[in-house]
Amino acid sequence: MRRPSQSKSVRKTLLQMLVPAGMGLMALAWLVHGSLLDRMSREFVESRLKDEVAFLQHQIHQQGGQIDTLQTGDYFQDVFHHAFAIHAGGKTIISPQSWQHLMQPLVQSEEQGTIRRTASEVQKGAPSNILAYRETFQVDGQPIVVIVAEDLDALQNSQSELHAWTAILSILLILLLVGVIWIGITLSMRPVVSLQAALKRLQGGEVSRIDVKTPDEFQPLVLQLNQLLDSLDQRLERSRDALANLSHSIKTPIAAVRQILEDADRPLDADLRNEMANRLGDIDQQLEAEMRRSRFAGPQVGKSAYPVKQARDLLWMLGRLYPEKSFELSTELTEERRWPIEEHDLNEILGNLLDNAGKWSSRCVELSLKESCEHMEIIVCDDGPGVAEDATDQLGKRGMRLDEQTPGHGLGLAIVCDIVQRYGGLAVFSKSPTGGLKADISIRLPTQPTASA
């Protein structure tokens, strides 16, 4: 026996999808934050270094290029909080002195603008990660080099601390996200729990229909379940009615046959044999009719039929059954057009109407298939003798035959009316334009709202 595939919990599936996605987004945001923070810090330091180099350049111009008269020492370092170096006329001023080994190579370098030095390029004891800005200019034809540098280690330590706090905050946000997702899933699953409880009450016979308050997304499911219950109830009721009708209809023929067989004094002549054959024929016809009625499906979700194709097939078959008569089809529907009606039910409607019209027509039977925005319509007209206007109301009643001269049991139109009624449609019989009978079947499309709504 094939075991059904094991389904995953919705809560578990959502957590498996949302939590890794949230963690991935948080990690990406953390990396982007670190990259942007580093870039902004570097650009900020570069801007400050340029400003301080410009300030020194202005001071040197004011002193006419005489750096000896500048107020140096630790003055500029105290003002800038940066190390600097000034070289002019073979003299170099570097502050603080601990940066001597680092700044001296930069003074002798030919690089201009922003310069980066890392641990592999500096001497032991000096800052291991610096960013400097070097500019060379002339005052009265004398070249002067000005360098302002900053130790990035302190700045990067601050960035690392800020980045670490950002990581901690991200982890807390992930935990909060998991909690929110868990609460959201639990609240979203409440309607399912309510629906499950309603199904248990339904199974236990406490209720006959599902009546629970659910979100809009679950309303179609509840509606479909109730429609399914309605359909099952209708089928059960139909089966009971069919059995009751069958029992009632064959009881009389069986009693008549039994009476003939039990009468030992009565010879079984040809007339009695013929009468018994007729009674048994009636039983057979009743059994066949009830078997056909039991196959009626009624409205079913997802079931549909091709009316044009089925009509053409039936017209071809009836044309062979009544070769002296013509069967015409008029419709604007395409071959691919579907009607929301079970295929067997549509065959029963078309077959019984066309067979009845073919039986009574003189020469021609016309079938029309129409569709409007609200209804699908089947019209069958014949040019036969028709029926009296006051007798059309009797048509479609089970066992009712208005003319005993033509073979039949009066069940065809009754079967049509039964099927149409189950689809909520209407069957109307009237006089056709050619003088015969006109059968007009109208069934409302299920997607359209009812007139009373």
- pLDDT on residue 312: 92
Q: CA separation (Å) from 399 to 256, 289, 293, 407, 445?
A: 19, 11, 14, 13, 30
The single-letter DSSP state of residue 97 is: G
The single-letter DSSP state of residue 302 is: T
| pLDDT at residue 366 tops 90 | yes
| pLDDT at residue 409 tops 50 | no
Percent pLDDT > 70 in the chain is 85
* pTM metric for this prediction: 0.45
pLDDT in tens, 8-24: 677 778 778 877 888 88
**For the residues of 324-373, what is the DSSP string, one character each?**
TSEEEEEE---TT--BSS-HHHHHHHHHHHHHHHHHH-SSEEEEEEEE-S
CA distance 141 to 251: 134
| pLDDT at residue 69 tops 70 | no
Task: Give me the count of residues in the chain.
Answer: 453
Average pLDDT of span 326-343: 90
**Helix H or strand E encompassing 407:** none
| pLDDT at residue 392 tops 80 | no
Average pLDDT of span 28-48: 85
| pLDDT at residue 122 tops 70 | no
| pLDDT at residue 120 tops 60 | no
| pLDDT at residue 114 tops 80 | yes
Average pLDDT of span 344-365: 89
Q: Which residue has the higher pLDDT, 408 or 336?
A: 336
The single-letter DSSP state of residue 402 is: S
Average pLDDT of span 358-381: 91
> Confidence class of residue 450 from pLDDT cuts 50, 70 and 90?
very low
> Confidence class of residue 381 from pLDDT cuts 50, 70 and 90?
very high
* Nearest one of 158, 186, 147, 189 to 57, comparing CA atoms: 147
Given a contact cutoff of 8 angstroms between Cβ atoms, the answer to whether 87 and 139 are in contact is no
Average pLDDT of span 273-277: 78
* Nearest one of 105, 102, 85, 103 to 93, comparing CA atoms: 85
Q: CA separation (Å) from 282 to 249, 289, 369?
A: 9, 10, 34
* Lowest-confidence region among 30-34, 140-144, 293-297, 401-405: 401-405
Q: Which residue has the higher pLDDT, 290 or 430?
A: 430
Please state at what angle helix 270-294 crosses helix 412-422, rounded to 10 degrees: 20
Q: Cis omega before residue 267 (within 30°)?
A: no
- pLDDT on residue 79: 62
Q: Which residue has the higher pLDDT, 285 or 146?
A: 146
| pLDDT at residue 390 tops 60 | yes
Average pLDDT of span 131-148: 84
> Confidence class of residue 246 from pLDDT cuts 50, 70 and 90?
confident
CA Rg, the chain, in Å? 49
Q: What angle do CA 173, 175, 178 make, to 5 degrees?
A: 110
24-38, 243-257, 266-280, 372-386: range with highest mean pLDDT: 372-386
> Confidence class of residue 121 from pLDDT cuts 50, 70 and 90?
low
**Phi-psi group of 430: left, alpha or beta (phi > 0 → left; psi -120 to 50 → alpha; rest → beta):** beta
* Mean pLDDT score across all residues of the chain: 79
- pLDDT on residue 309: 92
Given a contact cutoff of 8 angstroms between Cβ atoms, the answer to whether 332 and 355 are in contact is no
> Confidence class of residue 365 from pLDDT cuts 50, 70 and 90?
very high
What burial letters (b/e) apply to 297-320, b meaning 16+ CB within 10 Å?
Answer: bbbeeebebbbbebbbebbeebee
- pLDDT on residue 332: 92
> Confidence class of residue 299 from pLDDT cuts 50, 70 and 90?
low
- pLDDT on residue 405: 46
* Nearest one of 116, 85, 89 to 103, comparing CA atoms: 85
Q: Which residue has the higher pLDDT, 216 or 300?
A: 216
| Per-residue tokens: 206 | 């406490």
| pLDDT at residue 404 tops 60 | no
| pLDDT at residue 350 tops 60 | yes
